[in-house]
Amino acid sequence: MDTKTLSDFIAWSKKTDLQEVLFKKDGVCVEISTAAKNPKASDFSCKLTAVKAPAVGIYNSGLKGKAVVIKENMPVKQGDILGYVEMNKTLKEVNCPVAGTLKINLAKDGAAVEYGQPLFFIEP
């Protein structure tokens, strides 16, 4: 491969979104890699905070007779009650750990939940 062709190839590769190229021909091998092949867990980050079930039981968004509407993208404050987990006739509050916006609602009224199960995700 002559230097002009190689130079043109390098210029082209900088303009594309390719992350890896391997070229083999007539005993010539050219390999270009622009990204890590095996990203580590530390390469990723998440700003969402999980709101977890405080106990094993049945999740309810509000007390009996008091309807509570919980919607995605609604603002929440630290300490807000996002529902209750009922276990053996005892209610445990599901409290919001941080102020922000409720981004993901996984909680379903009347559904069984496990201790530590994520019910909501809050974006600070």
Question: How many Å apart are CA 81 and CA 113, to the nearest integer?
Answer: 17
pTM above 0.75, yes or no: no
Question: If the chain, 124 residues long, is cut into consecutive pieces of 10 residues, what is the mean pLDDT of each piece?
Answer: 77 76 79 68 83 96 84 95 94 96 94 96 94
Question: How many Å apart are CA 75 and CA 72, to the nearest integer?
Answer: 9
| Matching residue, tokens 């530390």 | 42
Q: What is the pLDDT of residue 99?
A: 97
What CATH class does 49-123 carry?
mainly beta
Question: How many Å apart are CA 4 and CA 86, to the nearest integer?
Answer: 73
Q: Give the residue extent of every domain in the chain.
A: 3-41, 49-123
